Amino acid sequence: MSDVSAPNSPPSNTVGVRSHLRDLAFLGGPLIGGHLAQYAIGLTDTAMLGWYSVEALAAVTLAGTYFFIVLLFGSGFAFAVMPMVAEAFAREDNRRIRRATRMGLWLSILYGAVVMPLFWFSEPIMLALGQSPEVAADSGIYLQVAGWGIFPALLVMVLKSYLGGLERAQAVLWITVFAAVANAGVNYLLIFGKLGFPEMGLMGAAIASLLTHVVSAVAALAVCLRRLPEHALMQNLHHPDWEMMGEVFRLGVPIGFTTLTEVSMFTASAIMMGWLGTEALAAHGIAVSLSGLWFMLHLGLSNAATIRVGKAVGRKDIGHLRRGGVVATWVSLVMAIATASLFVLIPETLIGLYLSEDQPQRDVILAMGVQLLAIAALFQLADGMQVVAMGLLRGLLDTGIPMVMAGFGYWVVGIPVAYVLGIWADYGGQGIWMGLVFGLSTAGVLLMWRFWKLVLPRESAKAAQAV
C-alpha cells in the first residue's frame, strides 16, 4: 500500500461534501456511462437472442457468463493500472504512467494466449459442469468464435483504465458508446438475417461480439495516441520492463482473483439454475442481466473512487481521502435504493423486454423472473457496498487482504448457502439467489470494515504506518 501519512497538498478541510459530490459526478458520470454502454453489448446479445429463441437465450446466458469470468480475471491487470496511473498523474510522473500502462498491455496479451484454449474446448467443460448436451453444444459454438475477442477486450480494459486514471473519462464513454451501437447494428443484421445478410442466430451474435471488441480496441488506441502523445505508449513497446511488469502483476493478480471469485459465484449460480431446467436458466439470465445493468452504476462509482483515492495518495492527503470515501459510500447507497425500487415496482415490464409476445414459455419465464428480481432488490445494497469498498481499497493499492475477505464472502458463505437453499432444501431459483444475497452482504461488510479500519481518524497513526 501507498504512503498517505504526510499531507503536502492544500488543507483537506477546505474541500466540503458538495465539492466531493461535484468532483465525483464529473469523473464518475462518464465512467458509469462507459460501463453501461459496455454492458449494453452483452445485454443486446441477450435481448436479441431472447427474441430469437429460448434455446439461444439459454446458451448465450451460459456462454456470456463463461466469457466474462475469464475476461474479468484477466482484467485484474487493467484494474491495477488505474490507481497506479492516478497516483503517478498526481505526482506528474509521465514515465511511470507509460511504464505501468505498457506492462498492463503486455500482461493482458500473455494472459489471453494462456486462456484461449478454454474457449476452444468449452463444450466438454460445459458438459462436465452438468449442462444439457444441447446448451453445451450451442455455448461451445458461440465461444469458439466470440472467444477470440478476449485479446482486444483486454487491451480495451487497459486503455480505458489508463484514460480513467488520467481523468479522461469522457473518452472512455464515447469509445464504449460507439462499440455498443455498432454491436447492436451487426447483431440485428446477422442474428435475424436482415438487409440481405444470412440468418445466423447464435453464430451471428458471436461474430458481432468479436467485431465489436476489435473495433473498440482500434478506437481506444487511436484516442490514446492522438490525445496523449506526451506519454508515447508505443515507445519501445516490444521491450519488456521486468520491474514494472512485476509491480503490475503483484497488484493485478489479487484483483483478478477477487473479481474471479465474485463472477464465478454468479457462474456457479447459473450452473445450478441450469440443473433446474432451460426456463429457469433463461429467467436467471434475464434477472442477472437486469441486476448487472444497474450494477454498472456502482462499478463506475467504484472506479471513480479508486482514481480519487489514488490521487489523494499521490498528494499524501488522508483527510481528503476519508471524506471522499464517505461521499462515495452514501452515493452508492442512494443509487441502490433507487434501483431496488424499480425491481419491486415494475418487474414484469423489465423482464418483458427480453421476451417476444408469442414466446411459448413466456409466462413461465416471466413468473420466475419476477421472483428473482424481488430478491435482486435485496442484494442491490450489498452489491453496491462491496464494489465501492473494493474500489476505495484499490486506490490504496490494498488488494491482498480484500481478496481473502471477498473470497470468503462469495465462496465460503454465498455458494454453500445457495446450494443448501436452492438444491438441497428445494427452494429452487429463489433459494439460489438468497445465497447470492448472503455472499454479497458478507463481502460488503468485511470490505467496508477493512477500508475504514485503515483510514478513520482514530486509526491515523496505524494508517500512516500501514498505508
Residue 97 reports pLDDT greater than 50? yes
Helices assigned H by DSSP within 129-241: 133-146, 150-165, 169-192, 202-227
Contact 408, 464 (CB under 8 A): no
Q: What's the confidence (pLDDT) of residue 16?
A: 63
The DSSP H or E segment spanning 15 is none
Handedness of CA 425, 365, 179, 87 (dihedral sign): negative
d(CA 292, CA 298): 10
Alpha carbon of residue 357 to chain centroid: 31
Quick one: which of 356, 347, 403 has its CA closest to 376?
347
What is the average pLDDT across 356-370? 78
CA angle 89/91/92 to nearest 5° reads 60
Any idea where the domains of the chain sit in the sequence? 15-466
Per the listing, cell 421476451 goes with 355
DSSP 36-81: HHHHHHHHHHHHHHHHH-HHHHHHHHHHHHHHHHHHHHHTHHHHHH
Rounded CA-CA distance 11/47 in Å is 50
Only one residue has cell 458508446, namely: 177
pLDDT of residue 17: 67
CB atoms within 10 A of CB 3: 12
242, three cell numbers: 521486468
Give the cell for residue 133: 448436451
Predicted local confidence at residue 402, as pLDDT: 93
Whether 352 has a pLDDT exceeding 70, the answer reads yes
pLDDT value for 198: 78
Burial class (CB in 10 A: 0-12, 13-18, 19+), 200: middle
Question: Which of 50-54, 81-85, 168-172 reaches the highest mean pLDDT?
Answer: 81-85
Greater pLDDT, 55 or 74: 74
Spatial CA neighbour of 39 closest among 149, 176, 133, 166: 176
Taking the C-alpha atoms of residue 302 and residue 306, their distance in angstroms, rounded to an integer, is 6
Q: Can you list the alpha helix ranges (DSSP code H) found in 346-459?
A: 347-352, 362-395, 400-407, 415-419, 428-455
In terms of Cα–Cα distance, which of 439, 326, 312, 328 is closest to 388? 328
Rounded to the nearest 10 degrees, what angle do helices 428-455 and 400-407 cross at?
A: 150
Query: Where does the pLDDT of residue 81 fall: very low under 50, low under 70, confident under 90, or very high at 90 and above?
Result: very high
CB atoms within 10 A of CB 126: 25
Cell of 270: 447459473
Mean pLDDT to the nearest integer, 353-370:
78
Q: Looking at residues 258-279, what average pLDDT do you find?
A: 83
Residues for the chain: how many in total? 467
Residues 198-249 pLDDT 10s? 777 778 888 888 888 888 889 888 988 888 888 888 877 778 888 999 999 9
Share of the chain above pLDDT 90, in %: 19
The 8-class DSSP code of residue 236 comes to T
Please give the Cα distance from 371 to 132 (Å, whole number). Answer: 24
Distance CA 365, CA 106 (A): 44
Residues of the chain with pLDDT > 70, as a percent, come to 92
The CA distance from 336 to 338, in Å, is 5
Contact 312, 321 (CB under 8 A): yes
Q: What is the pLDDT of residues 102-156, one digit of tens each?
A: 999 999 999 999 999 999 888 888 888 777 788 888 888 889 888 899 999 899 8
State which H helix or E strand residue 261 sits in: helix 242-275
What DSSP string runs through 300-368? HHHHHHHHHHHHHHHHT-HHHHHHHHHHHHHHHHHHHHHHHHHHHHSHHHHHHTTS-TT-TTHHHHHHH
Burial (CB count within 10 angstroms: exposed 0-12, middle 13-18, buried 19+), residue 230:
exposed
Split at pLDDT 50, 70, 90, the class of 443 is very high
